[in-house]
Amino acid sequence: MTQKVLITGANGRFGQAATHAFHAAGWQVHAATRSGTAPHVGGVVSHAVDVTDPVGLARASTGMDVILHGANPPYTGWKDALPKFTDALIAAARSSGATLLIPGNVYSYGRTMPPVLTSDTPHRPESRKGKLRRDMDAALRASGVQTIILRAGDFLEPRASKVWFDIAVARDLGAGRMTWPGPPDLAHAWAWLPDMARAAEGLAATRDTLPAYIDVPFAGMSASGSQMREGLERALGHGLKIRRFPWLALRLGAPLVPMWREILEMKYLWDVPHSLDGGLLAELLPQFTPTPEAEIYRRLAEVFAPGISTSTQTSLWADAASASAARVSSGAGQKTPDPVT
């Protein structure tokens, strides 16, 4: 029998990647969005749903095997939206019997987090947003509904979508410059969205073997500014200069711009080295193969430095690990809302 998944926020960053990954794996995909529109994937069923509405979400969840929560409000809306999301998701899972699958981030670990984060790392948030995510996770754990948290770092994807990478890091790649928000020698956790979405589908498909609550770190790609520059330089075929992110401008404007205040609260993520341990995911999905880093850099360069010549072209959400197998014969993870432009 075909399995069914309801994806909230299906037009968002993780939601779109998940829609393509679940559809490619043979699931019947239902998309829950405010507008009732869905990504352009054949066979996807659209639902016009306010994800903060427990009744509407429960109705759309009827008959679903999995509810994947891809909706995410701007930073300035977290205080009001996250508790409502949580209540509505729990109610929908209880009424439908579906498993919840939630993309997590690293905010709840706080600035005292160790260099390598595992599912057992204590949550000691200091930021408002970290505390909200901690409370959301605690409510899901206590709810009794089966919940899978797939925890990852900042998103990387094969398009411009107003995440840290394209708004800050890569905005001037075409001019030979890369911007880095912290010390260039400190590790930062990144998640290639096509890979993360495939991992989410794999966990959803094996949910019957999982406990009632499980927190699975997604290793993704741990890269410092220097390492990312080297990877992009190889893909581009020329050197890059690293320049500093203009934090001072944000501090000066923060009294007038609420979003800038919210971004400044999370600055520590660029000053504290961190990565995620992929051991548990490898144990749960032994056949999962991440995209080679060289391929990720190639595709990023292809998007953010137009005009480079590449030997392989792939569709937006194609499984890059498979698409590049001929070229890479040796084989082969917080979501940050829109930073300042």
Q: How many domains does the chain have?
A: 1
pLDDT band at 307 (very low <50, low <70, confident <90, very high): low
Question: Does residue 203 lie in a domain region?
Answer: yes
pLDDT over threshold 90, residue 308 = no
- Could you give the CA distance from residue 284 to residue 280 in angstroms, rounded to a whole number? 6
Q: Is 98 exposed, middle or buried (0-12, 13-18, 19+ CB in 10 A)?
A: buried
pLDDT tens for 92-143 read 999 999 999 999 999 999 999 999 999 999 999 999 999 999 999 999 999 9
The domain of 51 spans: 4-241+256-323
Question: Does residue 134 lie in a domain region?
Answer: yes
- Could you give the CA distance from residue 224 to residue 235 in angstroms, rounded to a whole number? 17
Question: Does residue 55 lie in a domain region?
Answer: yes
pLDDT tens for 256-279 read 999 999 999 999 999 999 999 999
- Could you give the CA distance from residue 2 to residue 26 in angstroms, rounded to a whole number? 7
Question: Does residue 249 lie in a domain region?
Answer: no
Among candidate residues 271, 327, 269, 337, the one with its CA nearest the CA of residue 299: 327
- Could you give the CA distance from residue 39 to residue 11 in angstroms, rounded to a whole number? 6
pLDDT over threshold 60, residue 317 = no
Q: What are the beta bridge partners of residue 191?
A: 155
pTM: 0.89
Q: What is the DSSP string of 273-300?
A: --EE--HHHHHH-TT--PPPHHHHHHHH
pLDDT over threshold 80, residue 68 = yes
pLDDT tens for 230-247 read 999 999 999 999 999 999
Q: Is 35 exposed, middle or buried (0-12, 13-18, 19+ CB in 10 A)?
A: exposed
Q: 313: Cβ–Cβ under 8 A, 6 or more apart, which residues? A: none
Locus of tokens 């030979």: 176
The domain that holds 44 is classified in CATH as 3.40.50.720
Question: Does residue 339 lie in a domain region?
Answer: no
> Three-state SS for 62?
coil
- Could you give the CA distance from residue 281 to residue 286 in angstroms, rounded to a whole number? 8
pLDDT band at 305 (very low <50, low <70, confident <90, very high): confident
Question: Does residue 248 lie in a domain region?
Answer: no
Q: Are strands 66-69 and 45-48 parallel, antiparallel or unpaired?
A: unpaired
Question: Are 106 and 153 a contacting pair, CB within 8 Å?
Answer: yes
pLDDT over threshold 60, residue 318 = no
Question: Are 97 and 143 a contacting pair, CB within 8 Å?
Answer: no
pLDDT band at 73 (very low <50, low <70, confident <90, very high): confident
CA atoms in the 13 A half-sphere facing the CB of 26: 5
Question: Does residue 266 lie in a domain region?
Answer: yes
Question: Does residue 332 lie in a domain region?
Answer: no
Residue 47 tokens read as 């639902």
The torsion angles phi and psi of 209, rounded to 5 degrees, stand at -95, 0
